[in-house]
Structure 1
Amino acid sequence: MRAVILGGTDTDLLVDLLAYRAADVRALLPVLADVGSPVLVSSRAVYVDPAGRHVNSDDPPHFPDPVREDTPTVPSASDAVDPFTREGYAPAKAGAERAALDSGLPVTVLRPAKVHGRWARTARTRPFVTAMAAGAERIDLAAGHAVDQLTAASNTAALIETVAADPAARILNTADPDTPDAAQIVAAIGARLGWHGTLDLLAPCSDGDPDRGHNPWRSAHPFVLDTSAAIELGYQPVGTTLDLLVEEVD
């Protein structure tokens, strides 16, 4: 990335999706001063609830209200922490944020929820698309009424376009404007694929098999991000989760 910046002039925008820890950000600081609007993509995983729980805790967090950007976060990790572990991911991301915001540069830090979009590397829709495309007559789904807000890549791109025109050091949540439950998401996948099977919503622990009805959007408590700060900057979502989910399904 340094070579990309040094090889050009007057870089207007740089979106960093690769920084997982403070050291990654510090490696770019010598050249970021030449970028008009640097953007660092972090994660909602950094947030902690009033009891200190976060998304990778043994006990799930409980946020009674939509989570604002000034909500407390996990402590920043040292460079020795592995960001590619369950325990290290959130603290390492918090460290990357801190390094960016302490730099004095106009870095916008974005905190998305569960990301979906075209060419997603770990598409949560994949098992459902695979089953429906194979002609499954019935699909089991556990915790179908669970709500775990998503973030479309297209909506984040629109937010990046907004902040690029007004660079500043800040933190912004990025999330879709709607909060469909898991059953609505699977139904939308089926509608896109013309699937006419039956979605069987399982009762909790109906047969003692924790893997039956795997639900990648399962959440013990709703986790919703407050995006009013982005809206106040003039950002307008491209669409809702149910509108934009088709980009990943296709």
Structure 2
Amino acid sequence: MEHSKKDPKSFIVTDDYFIDLLTALTNLSPYWMKQLKQGSIKLQWAVQIGSRLDQEQQRRYMEWLQDTLVPDKWMGKVLHAFSMNMPEWAVHHVLRIYKLEEKTRAAIIMYNDLMALYEEIILNFEYEFLEGGWPEEDELLEQILHGVEKELQSLADQAGAHHKKDYRDYGDSSTDSYDRLASLQGCPYPVLIGLKPDAGAEQIRAQSRRLLKKLHPDHGGSACLFDLVKKAYDTYSQQ
């Protein structure tokens, strides 16, 4: 960026980054520019809107957000959906899938076989979503989204069945039951609770705390599974 020789108060922008930034801001609709000036949205988000959405898409995006409460963690997904000109019903469906995805992961986190299926489903779903591989026809798109939702729900249902079996088979807190359950898993503790084998102590403690709440016998959980996580949590808490 350098001063203009004709007008000292003006600047000539030569840096590609600033050119892209100014282009995005110039493309903002009056509504989004007003939101930026009022501080209702951050500059980074305004640039995303201006660079990815045309004027009509910005209008649809604005109207949709006025009627829908979206957590910040999914705002990028919504913006991408509008940049792909997805119909509004499909955007709602995508958000529903992401909500179900979180619940499903929490339900199956103790079961490695289900986690492998879950990761494959989500990987395919996100690839098609982010790469724009879905059909434009409403009927076909609805079939795809409904199929993903059905697969995730099936995993959650299977986890429920596994949980009931674990409770029947290992519902007591005896050392014998503990050892039998641990041997059945056949994997390191971090992997058992859904983390990478080399996960750090803080990650393991945080994940264990979440599982302890879910597995507590007073909340319908398995006493043996609770003891398994509690014993490991106590060990890592000392590190």
**Shorter-chain TM-score: what band?**
under 0.3
Superposition TM-score, scaled by structure 2 size = 0.26
Higher share in helix: 2
Superposition TM-score, scaled by structure 1 size = 0.25
**Greater C-alpha radius of gyration:** 2
Higher share in strand: 1
Question: With CA pairs under 8 Å and 6+ residues apart, which has the higher RCO, 1 or 2?
Answer: 1
